[in-house]
Amino acid sequence: MSEALHVNQAAGLHNLFSQTRAHRDELPVFHQAASLNRSAPKPRTTRTIAVAGGKGGVGKTTVAVNLAMAMAMAGRDVMLLDADMGVANIDVQLGLAPTRHVGHMLEGLCTLRDLIMPAQNGLKVIPGGSGVRRLAKMGNGEHAAVIRAFDELIQPPEFLVVDTAAGVADNVAMFAAAADDVLIVVCDELASLTDAYALIKILAHDFGVRRFHIVANMVRQASDAKKLYEKLARVCGRFLNVALDYMGMVPHDEWLRQAIRRQGAVVDLWPSSRAAIGFKQLAGAVDTWGEPAYPDLGRIAFFSGQSAPAAGW
Ligand SMILES: Nc1ncnc2c1ncn2[C@@H]1O[C@H](COP(=O)(O)OP(=O)(O)OP(=O)(O)O)[C@@H](O)[C@H]1O
């Protein structure tokens, strides 16, 4: 698999959203992830949600932070992993000042548990590290080591929300494919749809992910959000064997920028803002997602080594 696929050049993706006739994609399925972990599945107690989107700037971090915070405010035990390693910024957004990052853990200088930072409302954050070249250049083995490190947590959370990087490089795909659910963030730009499609295609073909939750961010009204979803669903339905779930919308809302300036989450600081209401609805919808549609067998997954229920369950 290529290290960094330039999504807008891949297979003339822009055309997919406008053309009337195209060939069904028949690329082979690569079971690269499957060959890396052949251990038997074990019962898991943590539900992992990866927030992805392909394109940069569509609001992945905003959605991850506010989804995690909204669930924490609802009394759930939630951990948030900033997997945008090397250029991570969840710590800054939530006013945290980490002294260690994932690189220290990989070097054996600390454990994953040492990286956990308490944020507002009981949310726990694992910062991704910023301005560290080595983190930005991590290879597949190191990504897998980060994912497997979660097996060592003595008190696994009820939910792990993973904020992934932009693009469709291996790190994004690995973190997304290691989760139980993938939440794709799209906004009202053609490049957002084409990049979301590219990511869904890679996750479906190369990692066997079959179900995706879709949220429309920074939209003006519900009808615009629905149209975005329908465009994506139409193209995916035509070329990929995947199911898309529409999760609603988060409107464009200036209170979000204010929240970032105040180093907090909008759901916490301005809970009755339009964006906060959208995030809370999204958080409430997670409970309707049903069982993860994705078997553990033969893949690298977060908490795949869990064998006992989490404390407090
Ligand atoms: N619903 C919204 N209303 C207004 N502004 C928003 C909304 N969602 C995100 N933003 C703003 O858009 C910008 C990009 O958001 P964010 O950093 O979450 O995107 P991202 O997809 O994680 O970006 P990157 O790929 O670069 O990490 C931020 O300034 C954020 O405050």
If you average pLDDT over every residue of the chain, what do you get?
A: 85
302 found inside a domain: no
304 found inside a domain: no
Residue 260 belongs to domain spanning: 46-288
How many Å lie between the centroid of ligand 1 and the Cα of residue 60? 7
pLDDT at 53 over 90: yes
253 CA: nearest ligand 1 atom: 3
14 found inside a domain: no
33 found inside a domain: no
Nearest CA to ligand 1 atom 14: 57
The helix or strand, by DSSP H or E, that contains position 218, with its residue range, turns out to be strand 211-219
Pocket test for ligand 1, best of 256, 258, 263, 274 (most atoms within 8 A of CB): 256
CB contact at 8 A, 58 and 192: yes
Is the dihedral angle over the CA atoms 200, 240, 302, 187 positive or is it negative? positive
In this predicted complex, what is the ipTM? 0.98
Q: What is the pLDDT of residues 233-287, one digit of tens each?
A: 999 999 999 999 999 999 999 999 999 999 999 999 999 999 999 999 999 999 9
64 CA: nearest ligand 1 atom: 18
Q: How far apart are CA 11 and CA 282, in angstroms?
A: 32
Q: How open is the CA angle 219-79-130, to the nearest 5 degrees?
A: 75
What was the pLDDT predicted at 18? 53
Tokens of 259: 């929240």
Mean pLDDT confidence for 161-177: 93
Tokens of 291: 């069982």
305 found inside a domain: no
Number of structural domains the chain divides into: 1
Q: What is the pLDDT of residues 192-216, one digit of tens each?
A: 999 999 999 999 999 999 999 999 9
Q: What is the pLDDT of residues 56-88, one digit of tens each?
A: 999 999 999 999 999 999 999 999 999 998 888
Q: How many CB atoms lie within 10 A of CB 65?
A: 31
How many Å lie between the centroid of ligand 1 and the Cα of residue 217? 9
Using N-to-C axis directions, what is the helix angle for 190-207 and 222-239, rounded to 10°? Answer: 40
How many Å lie between the centroid of ligand 1 and the Cα of residue 89? 11
Amino acid at the residue 278: G
pLDDT at 313 over 70: no
311 found inside a domain: no
State the CATH number of the domain containing residue 267: 3.40.50.300
298, with CB counted inside 10 A (0-12, 13-18, 19+), is middle
Residues above pLDDT 90, as percent of the chain: 70
Amino acid at the residue 216: A
222 found inside a domain: yes
How many Å lie between the centroid of ligand 1 and the Cα of residue 163? 12
Q: Read off the pTM.
A: 0.86
Q: How many CB atoms lie within 10 A of CB 110?
A: 15
Q: Which is more confident, 40 or 74?
A: 74
Q: How confident is the model at residue 6 (pLDDT cuts 50, 70, 90)?
A: very low
12 found inside a domain: no
Residues above pLDDT 70, as percent of the chain: 81
